[in-house]
Structure 1
């Protein structure tokens, strides 16, 4: 069951402590566009099915990534796309969006998403994995 647009944005806005829904939306669009480039196949399709339609489309038509980005480079890329962002604020943006994504998708799918990503993303999703 997909989260409604308003509910998704409200959660991102709350976690990211954004002043406006527009700021939360920009963060969500950027992070999901970058995330989509890292996911393939069923995992990406299943995640899209659990997101509001606009965000699902962003995930399914991602920014092209030539290679999987490490968490650090993912944060830098996010900062580059969000006006006025720094690596510190991008960490906040990414964590706000990805933790809402993890809650929306549940543990099993989140685990499968993490398997497609380079090590270290578990912390960005707010799901630290035992090492």
Structure 2
């Protein structure tokens, strides 16, 4: 199910504690462009169908990434593109957007998305145990029973 633009931005705005929808949109555009550079093929196309049209186009037409970024480098890249952001605020920004994307996508598709990303993105999407058995737990986190 595709979220309406307003609903998507409301979720991001609430999770990121932004003052305006414009601020939420600015962050969402950066994060989705970075995410799109890390996903390929059918998984990226299917994920786009769960996003409002303008955001889907950002996901589908990203800049190409020379190499997959670790979660830490992904956050640093977002901080570089979000005006006034620090690594700490960018972590918050990335999680606000990616957790909204994860909720829109559902568990099955998120499992496929996470398989295309380096280990550690589960936390950024707000799903720390989504694929812990398939990929191994993050250092310092217990395996799910």
Runs (4 or more) in structure 1 with deviation over 6 Å come to none
Q: Which residue in the other structure is 1:40 paired with?
A: 40
Structure number with higher helix proportion: 1
Q: Which residue in the other structure is 1:65 paired with?
A: 65
Greater Rg by CA = 2
Map 1:1-131 onto structure 2 (within 5 A): 1-129=1-129, 130=132, 131=137
Q: CA deviation at 1:64?
A: 1.9
Unpaired runs of at least 5, structure 2: 138-145
Deviations 1:35-54 (A, max 9, x none): 00000011000000110000
Distance in structure 1 (CA, Å) of the matches to 2:128 and 2:101: 15
Distance in structure 1 (CA, Å) of the matches to 2:109 and 2:126: 14
Quote the RMSD (CA, aligned, Å): 0.6
Q: What's the TM-score, normalizing by structure 2?
A: 0.89
Secondary structure of the structure 2 residue equivalent to 1:99: helix
Secondary structure of the structure 1 residue equivalent to 2:98: helix
